[in-house]
């Protein structure tokens, strides 16, 4: 409580200054500030008073004007509406009548019965006095004002910014207004077509849109009929002279729901205006072009196709169609029963996509992208004297961009047509300035801009920059599809109907190599050039992505069966390699820190969630999806060198990329040590996460001990093996290597019957005919067909993630393991995050017999239906059972024919290589990405990733091994050592690999030679007993060699040991 004293004095006590200074002088500054504050306050008050006076004056004057308008309206009504004699007026009477009408009508209009009478009277006097208008006795400005008055009230007034008053249907007053405008249309200098379009749009708003249900009016009502007839008369008059062609085609045709009011026969008479429109629109300044929303641009396209699709002059039709479709930069997707909630959410968040539920629009888009339309356009533009490839490519790329759901069908139809469109496109592209320059060298950004933005005059007949991009975009789409469907025999053939001859492929590879390097290396500069960037990279089209995709497809073909010169793909002459290495390491550090910040946000979200689900697979799947959503699709503008390593790693030599990979790991290890330093135990030794691993339960115990660590699995671990006698002796890095080596050998071991055994954990992986590993397809069979129960699948999923972590740990620790994966599986590692899908030719490494059978089907000369095949396949679904899996909806009832056999072949390959392996592959790569960022592996192709795992598949260099060896209790000049090196050198290549495996556990040399073997290869004296066999400790790369006195005995003992096929038992 505060104390309170009351003295009885209500006045404030005087302030006594005891400081000995003049109070006035001491407060001089405060007095000045006070005066200034008072002036500002008075000035503010004066301004507020003046503003209030102005506002009051405005509202008073407005109120007075409103009162005058109502007064004049009342006088006008009493003077004219009640009179039947003044229908025919003199010029002064008519002028006075219109002046008053213009003054009040659009301001007091409410759609009342009185307003209807007023409009009917105006219509009467227009009819009865039309000669005065036609002879221009009435002031033109007065007539124009009347047109504006009537046009204004024809459109609905808005209640607020959010809500629009929409009439349920046209009323008789609408027809009278339109009739009046029809009589006055000669006086409209700007044309009444936009007014008509706005009127139709107003009465159909919220009823006829791309995304609203189809709620059309009854087209046969009297009001609709009258309105339609009036509109047709206005349109006919306005278009006859073609003076308003741009308004008609650009604005009026963009009105939603025109098909409700008009028929094609009512529009076709105005098709002659198309030529005028094309000429005017081509010469129109883009900045002065009508501004039309994307949704209305779609309506303009479908309306034009609906009304003019049967035009006799098809060339003229396609030219106009191209003008209408080119500005559209959204993508329409029709509704589907299979559209998931996640997909709908993604569409709603992406401004490029629009989910349309309008039946009319979807029907017209289906027609525009149908077989019949493309047969017609190809016959007109490609198969006739009117050959126009640029126009064809522009229409096709725009259509496939607008309606991507039909893109694959369109691309397939064009690619496999007999017109050899791919070859025609490539020949045209080769003649362009861009291609001729790029074949010489990789251009810089300024050169690209100069050519593609037409900054230099071009020879007559030469395609411009935008046309070049359109031609290139279509060509890349078609050729990419052909590379997917063509087998290696077709690709390497001397001639082809649908693809490119071999020499053209070499030219194309050179073009793509140079242009891709330019686009990736100069990505930052290109992104700052708005015009160039919009031409090359703005969604929904991206020439950069398409170029990279096709280049990678050709590179994979060349890797599988070389047809290009050695070092063809290297681009090291375009930059300094040492500077590249240091710069790319810096870029990686920058990007990794940004990603780690995002990861922490996601982890915090997971830890704060209320979900009780503790399943690590689902948590990790969610985590990866969130991280994936937050990562940019392209890194080029931020980290161009990293983007080259991700998109086109073959530009850089393998050894250079290997050094970069190892530097990435070392930097990550150093950062881990700095941010998470090791703790010391009671004895001052580094404390590690320890796991006691029973040799009979390797995978289960390893999962229990280490899976929970997450990314901390990168940290050093301590492994203690145990057997029936207890915990084994030994600890340290050597035991860790032994653990990773034997668990890799055990965990990836296929089961005898290729079934997954939940007890032994065998069968997570199966092997191909070439004994190469890939995930067990049984684990990826959908719920509809699988015979595995939920617990079995969940158990397999957990261990699949963990195996990814094990391989990631091996790569992180630079420990080679003797595990070889199938190339088609490794390609998914190399393209993680890029949406890569294996193609038909990858099927050979999966199942050579199935591949050969499908090739025979492709080349079958007879009637394929005789083979009684359908779009289904027999699939093992678990526990020895098989099920018929449909490759497409109702596939079991769709026969394979000569026409669809190619679709069937690729459906089989897609199911075997992609669909049934998708879940297991994703889970495995999720685990791998916990240890290593996926983009690090994207620097390598499948063969190179296998070398990272198990070493370089080359002859063992014994000299290199000898230079990097260590002797323990031996001297270099000892006879045993001399005999040893002689014997090892004389071994066959196969036995040399066995020897290296005996010592290091892997039959291959390290990628950077034995100098990189850690620890170095060592030979230790095992004593004088010559009866003993040599033994090894693969965990420390050590051979324990008795001091043999005879070369013959030494050879015999070495061969016995390496052929014993024993592991740690000989240690």
pLDDT in tens, 567-591: 999 998 887 887 888 888 888 888 8
* Predicted confidence (pLDDT) per residue in 791-800, tens digit: 999 999 999 9
Higher-confidence position of 169 and 188:
188
Same domain, yes or no: 915 and 781: yes
Q: Which residues contact 1056 (CB under 8 A, 6 or more apart)?
A: 1029
> What pLDDT, on a 0 to 100 scale, did the predictor assign at position 333?
83
Which among 453, 385, 374 is positioned nearest to 410, based on CA atoms?
Answer: 374
Helix (H) or strand (E) holding 916: none
Q: How far is CA 1008 from CA 654, 877, 993, 1019, in A?
A: 11, 43, 17, 21
Same domain, yes or no: 682 and 666: no
**Catalytic site residue from 435, 516, 810, 1035:** 1035
Cα torsion for 337, 338, 340, 346, to the nearest 10°?
-100
In this structure, is residue 642 part of a structural domain?
yes
- Taking the CB of residue 381, how many other CB atoms lie within 10 A of it? 21
User: Contact 934/928 with Cβ under 8 angstroms?
Assistant: yes
In this structure, is residue 783 part of a structural domain?
yes
Q: Which residue in the block uniquely carries the two structure tokens 């070499």?
A: 506
In this structure, is residue 313 part of a structural domain?
no
> What pLDDT, on a 0 to 100 scale, did the predictor assign at position 224?
64
What does DSSP say about strands 1038-1041 and 1017-1021: parallel, antiparallel, or unpaired? Answer: parallel
Domain extent for 683: 678-747
Task: Determine the average pLDDT of the residues in 74-85.
Answer: 79
In this structure, is residue 273 part of a structural domain?
no
Same domain, yes or no: 713 and 773: no
> What pLDDT, on a 0 to 100 scale, did the predictor assign at position 611?
43
Omega before 574 within 30 of 0, i.e. cis: no
* Predicted confidence (pLDDT) per residue in 622-649, tens digit: 454 444 434 444 444 457 888 888 889 9
Is residue 5 predicted with pLDDT exceeding 60? no
Q: How far is CA 258 from CA 228, 261, 266, in A?
A: 10, 5, 11
* Predicted confidence (pLDDT) per residue in 326-373, tens digit: 889 888 888 776 666 666 666 666 667 677 778 889 999 999 999 999
In this structure, is residue 2 part of a structural domain?
no
Asked which of 747, 768, 791 is the last residue of a domain, the reply is 747
Task: Determine the average pLDDT of the residues in 192-203.
Answer: 73
- Cα 693 from Cα 739, distance rounded (Å): 9
Task: Determine the average pLDDT of the residues in 864-869.
Answer: 93
Residue 837 belongs to domain with CATH number: 3.30.2160.10
What does DSSP say about strands 773-775 and 872-878: parallel, antiparallel, or unpaired? Answer: unpaired
- Cα 886 from Cα 894, distance rounded (Å): 10
In this structure, is residue 25 part of a structural domain?
no
Asked which of 697, 722, 747 is the last residue of a domain, the reply is 747
Same domain, yes or no: 923 and 850: yes
Task: Determine the average pLDDT of the residues in 130-154.
Answer: 77
Same domain, yes or no: 1011 and 929: no
As to burial, measured by CB atoms within 10 angstroms (0-12 exposed, 13-18 middle, 19+ buried), residue 808 is buried
Q: Is 196 a catalytic residue?
A: no
> What pLDDT, on a 0 to 100 scale, did the predictor assign at position 163?
35
Same domain, yes or no: 798 and 855: yes
Number of separate domains in the chain: 6
Q: Residues of the chain with pLDDT > 90: what percent?
A: 31
Same domain, yes or no: 554 and 599: no
* Predicted confidence (pLDDT) per residue in 157-170, tens digit: 433 333 333 445 66
Same domain, yes or no: 896 and 769: yes
In 932-1046, alpha helices (H): 934-937, 942-950, 958-963, 975-986, 989-1000
Helix (H) or strand (E) holding 42: helix 28-76
Of 233-237, 402-406, 522-526, 890-894, least confident by mean pLDDT is: 233-237
Structure-token pair, residue 676: 């998470």
Same domain, yes or no: 585 and 600: yes
In which band, very low, low, confident or very high, does the pLDDT at 976 lie, cut at 50, 70 and 90?
A: very high
> What pLDDT, on a 0 to 100 scale, did the predictor assign at position 209?
64
Same domain, yes or no: 1045 and 973: yes
Same domain, yes or no: 554 and 457: yes
Which among 494, 651, 508 is positioned nearest to 574, based on CA atoms?
Answer: 651
* Predicted confidence (pLDDT) per residue in 794-828, tens digit: 999 999 999 999 999 999 998 888 899 999 999 89
Same domain, yes or no: 943 and 962: no
Q: Residues of the chain with pLDDT > 70: what percent?
A: 81
Asked which of 520, 544, 565 is the last residue of a domain, the reply is 565
CA-angle at 804, arms to 802 and 808, nearest 5°: 115
Give 680's strand partners: 686
Which among 197, 192, 82, 76 is positioned nearest to 143, based on CA atoms?
Answer: 192
> What pLDDT, on a 0 to 100 scale, did the predictor assign at position 65?
87
Instruction: For the chain, give the longest Cα–Cα distance.
Output: 142
CA-angle at 935, arms to 933 and 940, nearest 5°: 120
Is residue 602 predicted with pLDDT exceeding 70? no
- Taking the CB of residue 39, how many other CB atoms lie within 10 A of it? 10
* Predicted confidence (pLDDT) per residue in 461-484, tens digit: 678 888 899 999 999 999 999 998
Helix (H) or strand (E) holding 927: helix 918-931
* Predicted confidence (pLDDT) per residue in 949-968, tens digit: 988 887 889 999 999 999 99
Instruction: Provide the CA 683 distance to its chain's centre, in angstroms.
Output: 54
- Cα 505 from Cα 493, distance rounded (Å): 11
In which band, very low, low, confident or very high, does the pLDDT at 56 lie, cut at 50, 70 and 90?
A: confident
In this structure, is residue 366 part of a structural domain?
no
> What pLDDT, on a 0 to 100 scale, did the predictor assign at position 633?
40
- Cα 936 from Cα 381, distance rounded (Å): 47
In this structure, is residue 352 part of a structural domain?
no
> What pLDDT, on a 0 to 100 scale, did the predictor assign at position 39?
87
């Amino acid at each position: 409580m505060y104390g309170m004293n009351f003295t009885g004095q209500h006045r404030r006590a005087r302030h006594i200054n005891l400081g000995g200074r003049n109070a006035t002088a001491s407060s001089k500054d405060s007095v000045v500030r006070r005066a200034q504050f008072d002036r500002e306050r008075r000035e503010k008050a004066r301004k507020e008073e003046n503003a209030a006076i102005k506002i009051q004056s405005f509202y008073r004057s407005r109120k007075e004007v409103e009162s005058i308008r109502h007064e004049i309206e009342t006088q006008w009504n009493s003077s004219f509406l009640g009179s039947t004699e003044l229908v025919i007026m003199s010029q002064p009477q008519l002028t006075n009548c219109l002046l008053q009408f213009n003054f009040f009508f659009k301001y007091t209009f409410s759609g009342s019965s009185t307003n209807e009478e007023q409009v009917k009277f105006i219509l009467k006097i227009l009819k009865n006095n039309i000669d005065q208008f036609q002879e221009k006795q009435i002031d033109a400005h007065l007539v124009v004002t009347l047109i504006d008055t009537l046009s204004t009230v024809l459109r609905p007034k808005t209640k607020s910014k959010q809500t629009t008053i929409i009439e349920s249907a046209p009323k008789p007053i609408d027809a009278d207004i339109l009739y009046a405008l029809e009589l006055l249309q000669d006086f409209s200098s700007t044309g009444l077509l936009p007014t008509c379009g706005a009127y139709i749009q107003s009465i159909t708003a919220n009823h006829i849109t791309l995304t609203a249900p189809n709620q059309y009016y009854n087209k046969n009502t009297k009001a609709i009929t009258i309105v339609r007839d009036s509109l047709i008369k206005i349109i006919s008059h306005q278009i006859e002279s073609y003076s308003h062609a741009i308004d008609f085609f650009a604005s009026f045709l963009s009105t939603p729901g025109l098909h409700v009011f008009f028929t094609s026969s009512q529009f076709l008479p105005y098709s002659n205006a198309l030529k005028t429109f094309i000429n005017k629109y081509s010469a129109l300044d883009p900045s002065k072009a009508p501004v039309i929303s994307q949704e209305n641009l779609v309506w303009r396209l479908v309306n034009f196709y609906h009304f003019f699709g049967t035009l006799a002059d098809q060339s003229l039709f396609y030219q106009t169609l191209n003008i209408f479709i080119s500005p559209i930069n959204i993508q329409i997707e029709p509704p589907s029963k299979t559209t998931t909630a996640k997909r709908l959410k993604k569409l709603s968040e992406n401004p490029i996509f629009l989910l349309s539920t309008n039946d009319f629009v979807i029907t017209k888009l289906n027609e525009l992208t149908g077989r019949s339309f493309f047969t017609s356009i190809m016959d007109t533009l490609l198969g006739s004297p009117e050959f126009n490839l640029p126009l064809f490519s522009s229409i096709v790329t725009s259509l496939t961009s607008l309606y991507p759901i039909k893109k694959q069908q369109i691309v397939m139809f064009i690619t496999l047509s007999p017109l050899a469109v791919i070859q025609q496109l490539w020949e045209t592209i080769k003649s362009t300035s861009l291609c001729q320059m790029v074949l010489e060298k990789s251009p810089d950004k300024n050169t690209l801009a100069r050519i593609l933005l037409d900054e230099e005059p071009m020879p007559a007949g030469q395609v411009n920059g935008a046309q070049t991009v359109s031609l290139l975009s279509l060509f890349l789409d078609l050729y990419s599809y052909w590379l997917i469907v063509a087998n290696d025999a077709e690709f390497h053939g001397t001639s082809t109907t649908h693809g490119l001859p071999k020499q053209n492929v070499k030219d194309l590879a050179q073009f793509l190599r140079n242009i891709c390097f330019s686009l990736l290396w100069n990505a930052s500069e290109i992104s700052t050039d708005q015009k160039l960037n919009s031409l090359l990279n703005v969604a929904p089209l991206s020439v950069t992505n398409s170029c990279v995709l096709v280049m990678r497809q050709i590179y994979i073909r060349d890797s599988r069966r070389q047809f290009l010169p050695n070092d063809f793909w290297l681009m090291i002459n375009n930059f300094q390699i040492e500077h590249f290495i240091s710069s790319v390491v810096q870029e990686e550090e920058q990007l990794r820190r940004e990603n780690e910040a995002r990861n922490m946000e996601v982890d915090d979200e997971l830890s704060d969630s209320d979900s009780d689900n503790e399943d690590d697979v689902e948590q990790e799947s969610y985590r990866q999806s969130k991280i994936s959503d937050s990562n940019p699709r392209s890194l080029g503008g931020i980290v161009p060198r990293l983007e080259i390593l991700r998109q086109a790693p073959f530009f850089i030599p393998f050894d250079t990329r290997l050094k970069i990979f190892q530097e990435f790991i070392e930097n990550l290890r150093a950062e881990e040590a700095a941010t998470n330093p090791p703790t010391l135990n009671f004895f001052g030794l580094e404390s590690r996460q320890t796991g006691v691993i029973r040799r009979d339960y390797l995978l289960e115990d390893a999962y229990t001990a280490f899976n929970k660590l997450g990314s901390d699995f990168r940290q050093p671990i301590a492994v203690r093996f145990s057997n029936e006698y207890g915990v084994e002796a030994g600890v340290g890095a050597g035991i860790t290597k032994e653990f990773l080596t034997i668990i890799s050998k055990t965990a990836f071991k296929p089961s005898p019957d290729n079934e997954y055994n939940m007890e032994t954990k065998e069968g997570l992986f199966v092997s191909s005919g070439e004994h190469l590993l890939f995930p067990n397809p049984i684990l990826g069979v959908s719920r509809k067909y699988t015979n595995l129960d939920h617990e079995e699948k969940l158990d397999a999923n957990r261990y699949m993630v963990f195996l990814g972590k094990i391989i990631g740990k091996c790569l992180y620790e630079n420990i080679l393991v003797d595990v070889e994966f199938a190339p088609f599986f490794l390609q998914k590692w190399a393209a993680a995050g890029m949406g890569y899908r294996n193609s038909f030719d990858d099927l050979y490494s999966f199942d050579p017999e199935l591949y050969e059978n499908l090739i025979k089907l492709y080349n079958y000369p007879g009637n394929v239906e005789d083979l009684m095949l359908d779009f289904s396949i027999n699939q093992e679904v678990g526990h020895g059972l098989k099920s018929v899996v449909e490759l497409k909806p109702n596939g079991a009832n769709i026969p394979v024919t000569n026409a669809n056999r190619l679709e069937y072949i690729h459906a089989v390959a897609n199911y075997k290589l992609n669909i049934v392996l998708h879940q297991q592959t994703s889970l495995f790569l999720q685990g791998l990405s916990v240890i290593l960022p996926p983009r690090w592996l994207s620097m390598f192709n499948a063969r190179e990733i296998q070398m990272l795992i198990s070493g370089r598949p080359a002859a063992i260099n014994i000299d290199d091994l000898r230079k990097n060896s260590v002797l323990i209790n031996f001297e270099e000049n000892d006879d045993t050592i001399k005999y040893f090196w002689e014997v090892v050198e004389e071994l066959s290549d196969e036995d040399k690999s066995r020897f290296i495996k005996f010592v290091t556990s892997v039959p291959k040399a390290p990628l950077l030679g034995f100098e990189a073997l850690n620890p170095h290869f060592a030979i230790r004296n095992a004593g004088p007993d010559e009866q003993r066999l040599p033994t090894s400790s693969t965990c420390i790369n050590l051979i324990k060699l008795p001091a043999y006195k005879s070369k013959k005995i030494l050879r015999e003992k070495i061969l016995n040991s390496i052929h014993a096929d024993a592991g740690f038992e000989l240690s």
